[in-house]
A = this chain, B = another copy of it.
């Protein structure tokens, strides 16, 4: 298999999905490609460019339908769930998606498609952009917290959540709830809050 930008970036994403973002080094990626790590510099000027290549692949996974006459609330919810699902499919790559500048072509493409949806739903341009920023921040924030704290929620098998000994009574009261895997419910709660808040916009 010949080396190419696409194959390198795809192999890099597979490595990140498998071993985590910190495990991605030019040398290890070279090994996965059957080549010395330094060969990658023929295709990417540095590691930052390689990470941008990974982001491009990830955002391409996000299929955003063209505007239709479906109620905007439903479109808004579906797009939020689609983005959340993308993040949870690639938990180790979430930090790469937490700071996406609109100057990046792949980001601008996805943002433009969502803007088209919101504007078709009656949002004016400034509100649509701020709505996009709000929901994106929320979805990324939840996913990052959820994935980062997963080791503390995992595998308790009925044992209580390990709160510190001097924890607030309000938290102790919720220890059983904390032990369960109710991230999806928590996400839905916040999504409902945001949709209702947008419905009552002036």
Copies of chain A in the complex: 2
Q: Are B170 and A134 in contact (CB under 8 A)?
A: no
Contact partner of A168 among B113, B137, B151, CB < 8 A?
B113
In chain A, residues 134-154, which have Cβ atoms closer than 8 Å to a Cβ of chain B?
Answer: 134, 136-142, 144-145, 147-149, 151-152
Nearest chain B CB to A21 CB, angstrom units: 11
CA distance in complex: A171, B132 (Å): 12
Size bin of chain A's contact surface: 35 or more
Contact B195 A103 (CB under 8 A): no
Asked if A161 lies at the interface with its beta carbon under 8 angstroms from chain B, I say yes
Q: Confirm or deny: A66 has a beta carbon within 8 angstroms of a beta carbon on chain B.
A: no
Beyond known contacts A108-B163, A116-B168, A138-B138: 19 more, CB 8 A cutoff: A98-B144, A98-B145, A102-B163, A102-B178, A111-B168, A112-B168, A115-B168, A125-B173, A130-B185, A130-B190, A131-B189, A133-B142, A134-B190, A137-B138, A137-B142, A140-B141, A140-B145, A141-B144, A196-B196
